[in-house]
Amino acid sequence: MTRQVTGQPPVRGRDAPERDPVYSLVGGFADGRLEADFRRSHHGWFNGRLITAGLLGGILYFVALLYDHAVLGDSNAYHWLFVDRLAVMAAGLWLAARAHYNGKRDRALPVFSMLAFELALALGFLGVVFLHGGSIVFHTMSMLAIVTVFYIFLPNLSTGQLLIPWVFSVAFLVIFRIAFEATSIELTIPVLLLLLSNLMGTFFVRLINRSQRGEYVTVQALQSLNAELRQEIADRKLVEARLRESEDNLKHLFEVAPVPLVLTRDRDGAILRMNHAASLLLRVEPGEISDLRTPDFYVDLREREQVITRLRTQGAVEGADVHLRTVDGKTIETMLTAVRTEYDGETVYFVGLVDISERKRIERELQRLARTDTLTGLHNRRSFFELAEREILRARRKRAPLALLLLDVDEFKQINDRFGHAVGDNALNSVVEAIGRCLREYDIAARIGGEEFAILLPEMSAEWGVDAAERVREAVAATPVTTPDGMIHLTVSIGVSAVDCNVATIDRALSQADAALYEAKRSGRNRVASADDGTQG
């Protein structure tokens, strides 16, 4: 039966033991910290058992010397047994002393002394058997008594300690088999008795250890829960008292709070109260509140259902993004925080709103800027690679072709050097406009370098990609660019490659298109080259 140390505060919160902990082979907690807590809480019980086992076991074992004298007389064997029993008694008294000393000073259990006593008792008895000889039945009964002491009276705290009775029993049988030449028939009953005793003892130890620790977990959990409940009851009483004392002040604070606050009823969604900030946010006149319901303000009623469901099941919602509609029809994005409570005997929701429309607009703009080339308005390099991976997956699913164009503006550095970057930027935008006139709505164009562009053409083979590239090349060549020296015409060199949709990235296709682009440049610029068949235009 377990003992709970009085005066020890219960473990609370996340430090409380789990309700279903993992146990070790001997039935102790697998968690070392939890096992240490358990032993500290049962310190007095453990030490009491050790003191009892050490004193009674050691003294009774020594008193058996009277029987040795009666059987052996004043012989050498008797003198050896005297030393044997004296050593065992000394180990028992030492164990009792250590347990008493540690118990007084609240120190750890004397595990080493306990193991020393068990080993001394086991080895001492084997010495008795060897020196006495005699009936195996008598020694088996004594052996069973000592094994019982090991299992019942001594706390079994480790696997090694649990193995001592088993090893002890095997050694006992080996002595009788070898030293006393016991037959197999003579050993049958001792083997069965010792096997049964050890099996039952092991089962008993595991059962007791797990039972003690299970009760410890339950008691700790109940104490923790009781403490939390007492604290919660005290807190609630304090809150209720303060609420009663300051109800007028709270109503005033509700009204003048700079954060939009709304009090709504659960059963019909009626708006019971709304402070001034909420009225301004939702464009509600004071006299209109009684006629309004929360569904009137939601752009998407599914968002309201999600909020209501979480409030009813969890009691609170924190930081939910919802789209609301003002009385005059304007849509606003808000962050909603709400708690469920009781008001005038009914379930109500206390809701706080924050207008995040501008923040959301800025976030969307930042996301757009992060994916867009600021000069041309095309996708930037990072966005292009993300979209390319997505298109590869789509093409793989649909088993559709996918072509890639890689464009480079010919002699663009000379334009920058001659006319400056402003004219160069204008020239790039002219190229982008020409490209845009040649693309379909779902084609993907990106600026991936200074004057280098990539175009991804879904559902288009490399052969058709060459035709598309020719149209782009011709459109760019026909587009005039204004410079301080008058109008000029730019040209582009284009490399075309088919995209292998069996690979996850577009790196290989880019490498092939880049090689084709180099070939177009080498052949005189203002050309289209294909990586797939070496065609040029």
Q: What tens digit of pLDDT does each residue of 239-259 get? A: 887 767 777 777 778 788 888
CB-based contacts of 502, cutoff 8 Å, min separation 6: 396
Q: How many domains does the chain have?
A: 3
By three-state DSSP, how is residue 127 classified?
helix
Task: Please indicate, yes or no, whether residues 61 and 107 belong to a single structural domain of this protein.
Answer: yes
Instruction: Tell me the C-alpha distance between 371 and 184, whole Å.
Output: 87
CB-based contacts of 334, cutoff 8 Å, min separation 6: 281, 321, 322, 323, 324, 353, 354, 355, 356, 357
How far CA 87 is from CA of 43, 302, 388, in Å, comes to 27, 82, 84
Asked if the structure places residue 537 within a domain, the reply is no
Please state at what angle helix 421-438 crosses helix 412-419, rounded to 10 degrees.
Answer: 140
Query: CA nearest 463: which of 515, 511, 517, 405?
Result: 405
| Mean pLDDT within 25-50 | 74
Task: Please indicate, yes or no, whether residues 117 and 43 belong to a single structural domain of this protein.
Answer: yes
Asked if the structure places residue 241 within a domain, the reply is no
| Mean pLDDT within 24-52 | 75
| Mean pLDDT within 183-205 | 81
| Mean pLDDT within 71-99 | 82
Give 267-318 pLDDT, tens digit per residue: 998 988 888 888 888 988 877 787 888 898 999 999 999 999 999 999 999 9
Only one residue has tokens 């309004």, namely 292
Task: Please indicate, yes or no, whether residues 23 and 155 belong to a single structural domain of this protein.
Answer: yes
The catalytic position among 451, 459, 470, 519 is 451
Task: Please indicate, yes or no, whether residues 129 and 200 belong to a single structural domain of this protein.
Answer: yes
Residue 333 · residue 357 · CB < 8 Å = yes
**Is residue 451 annotated as part of the catalytic site, yes or no?**
yes
Query: Given pLDDT bands bounded at 50, 70 and 90, which one contains residue 4?
Result: very low
- Give the CATH number, domain containing residue 311: 3.30.450.20
- Residue 493, beta-bridge partner list: 408
pLDDT of residue 151: 74
Instruction: Tell me the C-alpha distance between 202 and 151, whole Å.
Output: 7
Burial of 231 (0-12, 13-18, 19+ CB in 10 A): exposed
| Mean pLDDT within 174-178 | 77
Give the sign of the dihedral formed by CA 93, CA 99, CA 103, CA 107: positive
Please give the sequence-ordered ranges of beta strands (E in DSSP) within 242-383, or none if there are none.
Answer: 261-265, 271-274, 316-325, 331-343, 346-355
Task: Please indicate, yes or no, whether residues 220 and 131 belong to a single structural domain of this protein.
Answer: yes
Domain that holds residue 322: 251-357
Residue 396 · residue 451 · CB < 8 Å = no
Task: Please indicate, yes or no, whether residues 94 and 197 belong to a single structural domain of this protein.
Answer: yes
Task: Please indicate, yes or no, whether residues 409 and 443 belong to a single structural domain of this protein.
Answer: yes
pLDDT of residue 14: 45
pLDDT of residue 20: 65
CB-based contacts of 515, cutoff 8 Å, min separation 6: 495, 531
Asked if the structure places residue 1 within a domain, the reply is no
How far CA 421 is from CA of 173, 333, 442, 451, 480, in Å, comes to 100, 41, 31, 12, 17
Task: Please indicate, yes or no, whether residues 212 and 157 belong to a single structural domain of this protein.
Answer: yes
Task: Please indicate, yes or no, whether residues 454 and 384 belong to a single structural domain of this protein.
Answer: yes
Give 467-495 pLDDT, tens digit per residue: 999 999 999 999 999 888 889 999 999 99
Task: Please indicate, yes or no, whether residues 344 and 379 belong to a single structural domain of this protein.
Answer: no
pLDDT of residue 18: 57
Is residue 349 pLDDT above 70, yes or no? Answer: yes
Percentage with pLDDT > 90 across the chain: 33
pLDDT of residue 204: 81
DSSP of 13-73, one letter per residue?
GGGSPPSS--B-TTSSBSSHHHHHHHHHHTHHHHHHHHHHIIIIIHHHHHHTHHHHHHHH-
Task: Please indicate, yes or no, whether residues 70 and 99 belong to a single structural domain of this protein.
Answer: yes
Task: Please indicate, yes or no, whether residues 153 and 279 belong to a single structural domain of this protein.
Answer: no
| Mean pLDDT within 345-350 | 91
CB atoms closer than 10 angstroms to residue 501: 20
> For the ranges 61-75, 328-342, 514-528, which has the lowest average pLDDT?
61-75
- Give the CATH number, domain containing residue 490: 3.30.70.270
Asked if the structure places residue 238 within a domain, the reply is no
What's the length of the chain?
537
pLDDT of residue 3: 46
pLDDT of residue 504: 66
Q: Which of 357, 382, 406 is the last residue of a domain?
A: 357
Q: Whole-number mean pLDDT of the chain?
A: 83
Asked if the structure places residue 197 within a domain, the reply is yes
Is residue 201 pLDDT above 50, yes or no? Answer: yes
Give 179-193 pLDDT, tens digit per residue: 677 777 877 888 888
Asked if the structure places residue 366 within a domain, the reply is no
Kindly provide the b/e burial profile for residues 165-184, where b requires at least 16 CB atoms within 10 angstroms of the residue's own CB. bbebbeebbebbeeeeeeee
Residue 139 · residue 132 · CB < 8 Å = yes
Asked if the structure places residue 363 within a domain, the reply is no
Asked if the structure places residue 235 within a domain, the reply is no
Residue 57 · residue 66 · CB < 8 Å = no
